[in-house]
Structure 1
Amino acid sequence: MQRLGFEGGRVLEPSGGYDSFHIDGDHSSVVFGDYADALPAHVHAARGTEPPRTRFDTVIMGWNTLGPARDAGIASPYPHLRQIVASRHAREVDPSITLTDDPLRTVRSLKQDDGADIWLCGGGDLAATLLPEIDRLVLKRHPVVFGSGVHLFGSAPYASRGFTPVAAHSFTSGVVVEEYVAAAA
C-alpha cells in the first residue's frame, strides 16, 4: 500500500519562487541522496545521475507547480515517475501526465495500489485538500524569513491534524530537515 508524503513543504517567496533558499551546502546530500526521486529529469541530466526509483513512484502536483517547468519548455519534468496534475480546468499536458479534477479521490485510489510512495510536490491549496491523506511530512526549513508568501497548506480553513516527529537533521548551512508521520487517530 502506498503512502502520501509531502516532501519539501515550505513557505515560498511571495512570488512563489525559490531564489532565496540555500541550494548548495551540507544539506544537499539529503536532497540529492535521500530524495533523489524528487529531482526533475533535467537536474539528473545536469548531474549525470539517474533517479534511484526507491522512494517515490508517483508525483502529484498542482497546475501552478507544473507551471515553471512548462515555462522553461519542460513538458514532463518527472518522466521517471507517474505524473498527476490536479487542475479544476481541462488543460493541454504532455501525454505522460494524467490530469485529475478530484485529487482526493485520486490519491485515495492510488494509496490502495502496491508500489513506492506518492510525493506531493507543492501547491499549498492542493496540500490542504490532501491533508486527510498525508502520511508523512518532510519539512525543509531554511534560515530565511519572508513577511508573506505561499503558505504550506494554502488558504484553507483551519483543520487540526496531528503529526509525530520521527527525525530532525540540522546542517551547518542552517537548513533543518524534519520528518513527521501522521499521528494515530
Structure 2
Amino acid sequence: MRKLVYYIAATLDGFIAGPDGADPTGPGGFWPLPADYVQYLAANYPETLPFMAREALGVTAEGSSFDTVLEGRKSYEIGLAAGVPDAYPHLRHLVFSTTLGESPAEAVEVVAGDPVARVAELKKEDGKDIWLIGGGALAGALYGEIDRLIVKLAPLTTGAGIPLFGREAAFDPRVWKLTGHEAVESGALFLTYDR
C-alpha cells in the first residue's frame, strides 16, 4: 500500500512558514537555500522541485519516491499569486479546499470533500508514495493518516510562525521511529521517521 509522506521543511523551533503564511523561500523570504541543500534535493527527491526549479537546474529525473502531491488551499494560492497554477505538472496534483471551486489548472484536482477519506482512496491505488507538501492545516487534518515524516530541518529559528501541523491540530502524542538521517555541510538535516 502507498504511504502518505509529510515531506516538509521545518525550522529548529518547529515552524514551516512565518506567521503570515507567505512562501519563506520566495522573493523576500527568510529561508536559507544553500547550494548543497538544493543539490541534495535534486539528487534525492527531484520530483519535489517545482517545474521552474527543475528547468533552471536542468533536472529531468522522474524521481523514485512520489507520483502524487497534496496541498491545502493556502499553500496552493501562494503559487497562484505568483502566476503558477500548477508547480508540479510532472506529478498528479490534488488541492484540498472547500472554497476554491473550479481548478485554475486542468491537471490540478480540487478536492472539496473529506481529506482523510480521499487519502484512504489514494493509498489503495497503485503507484509511488503520496507527498503531503502542506500546509500545516492540511497536515493537521491528515495527522492520523501520515505514515512517514521526512523533515528537512533548517539551521534556522523564527520564534513564531505556522507550526508543522498547523495552529488547530488536536493534541495527540505519537512516537515515531527514526529510519534515516543525513546532513549537508551547510547545516540542514534530512530526518526520516516512520510511524
Structure 1 position 30, deviation (Å): 2.1
Which consecutive unaligned segments of at least 5 residues does structure 1 have? none
Query: Which of residues 158, 163, 168 is equivalent to 2:171?
Result: 158
Matched residues, percent identical?
32
Structure 1 position 66, deviation (Å): 0.8
CA contact (8 A) 2:46 2:59 kept: no
| Structure 1 stretch displaced more, 45-54 or 161-170 | 45-54
- TM-score by length of structure 1 reads 0.92
CA contact (8 A) 2:42 2:59 kept: no
Query: Which residue number in structure 2 is paired with residue 98 of structure 1?
Result: 109
Secondary structure at the counterpart of residue 109 of structure 2: strand
Secondary structure at the counterpart of residue 186 of structure 2: coil
Query: Which of residues 119, 137, 143 is equivalent to 1:125?
Result: 137
1:110 aligns with 2:122: yes
- TM-score by length of structure 2 reads 0.87
Aligned mates of 1:105, 1:91 — CA distance in 2 = 19
Any runs of at least 4 consecutive aligned residues in structure 1 with deviations exceeding 4 A, and if so which? none
Structure 1 position 160, deviation (Å): 1.7
Aligned mates of 1:39, 1:126 — CA distance in 2 = 20
Alignment of 1:27-176 (within 5 A): 27-93=37-103, 94-101=105-112, 102-155=114-167, 156-176=169-189
Count of aligned residue pairs for this structure pair? 182
Which consecutive unaligned segments of at least 5 residues does structure 2 have? none
CA contact (8 A) 2:67 2:92 kept: yes
Matched AA of 2:193:
Y
RMSD: 1.4
